[in-house]
Amino acid sequence: MSASGPLVGYKIIELAGIGPNPMCAMLLADMGAEVIRVDRVVDAGLGIPMDEKYALLDRSRRSIAVDLKQPEGVELILGMVEKSDALIEGFRAGVTERLGIGPEDCFARNEKLIYGRVTGWGQDGPLAKAAGHDINYIALAGAAYPIGNADRPPSPPLNLIGDFGGGGMLLAVGVLAGLLEVQKSGKGQVVDAAMTDGVATLMTAVYGMHAAGLWTDKRESNILDGGAHFYDCYETSDSRYISIASIESKFYAELLERTGFEDPDQAAHKDKAQWPDTSVQMADLIKTKTRDEWCELLEGTDICFAPVLSMSEAPDHPHNMARETFIKDNGVVQPAPSPRFSRTPSKIQKPPSPHGGDTEAVLLDWGIPEQELAHLKDKRVVA
């Protein structure tokens, strides 16, 4: 099956890792780039163990297994770098340099290479070489503190903000920008995507409100953190949930009209001091109907409303079905590639490959002679 997407023709090497790096690689591969995942010869147990068909971040690309602790393994990758447009990696600062495949090693082989690196703390700074995970990075950037109930510690928002938003997507944007710039300059460069930086960038608007005195450091007291009765999730009579986001006055007016909620002159909408009591009143009102009843009354209106769906429910919602937001590939229901392109549509190029499952085919495709491949296999440089 031929590749499809706006990045068809680009070749990218992915040094396998967890979290943001495979997210970036999946995005680029879904958009048509030939991304080769370089796994270890001996599986190091990266990530959460599961059948490869469910490791959806590994989709759309092939896998080779290479021992980067052997000089011939390093030389193999550097040879592939010569034919590549970009390399992405997610090791701690300094690791690839010690392996002999750091930026300068790669630029010596290909001065046009975009060298994308994603870490939690960045390539420098006091914490650069420390271990960490998503919740640590969003905590340091000020994004964890505002999330959750006022009377409890902050709630972990899955690993969406650090790993995937502030990390993987930030790296993808950086790599794409680098690929555009190299067309003008003819010179590659390093993209240093730190999750602490990326999360801080995601928080730009909230930091603006904080600086303006419109956002306090107390959870559940602000317009977007559950403090406002018109922007929150509520439990329904059947123990399900709905979301309301009637921020603008015209949307709030429709909320009042359709639900019968009373707020003369929208006084409580404008006065933060009234929000705590009004939130209780709104919660009581929402509990008078089931989720489906609220959907029938409010969905599709300008109230800014949606049911809160579980992951089991979301693929079957009529809107998601109409847009094919979720598709089934290789027997697994999963999010479809995004964003969408009118002329060069992205697609899932192939199901996730098993660890090192495409080594021979990839290396032959990339011009490695059969005799050399046999030698590398005999020495366990590749597997």
CA 141 – CA 145 distance, rounded (Å): 9
Reply yes or no on whether 163 is catalytic: yes
In this structure, how many other beta carbons lie within 10 angstroms of the beta carbon of residue 314? 16
User: What phi and psi, each to the nearest 5 degrees, are found at residue 75?
Assistant: -65, -35
Runs of H (alpha helix) within the chain: 20-30, 71-81, 95-99, 103-107, 134-140, 170-185, 195-202, 204-211, 249-259, 267-270, 275-286, 291-298, 318-323, 359-365, 370-378
Reply yes or no on whether 85 is catalytic: no
User: What phi and psi, each to the nearest 5 degrees, are found at residue 197?
Assistant: -65, -45
- Decide if 192 contacts 117 (C-beta within 8 A): yes
Render 178-212 in DSSP notation, one character per residue: HHHHHHHH---EEEEEEHHHHHHHHTHHHHHHHHT
CA 337 – CA 351 distance, rounded (Å): 13
Pick the catalytic residue: 39, 85, 163, 232?
163
Report, as residue numbers or ranges, the catalytic residues: 133, 163
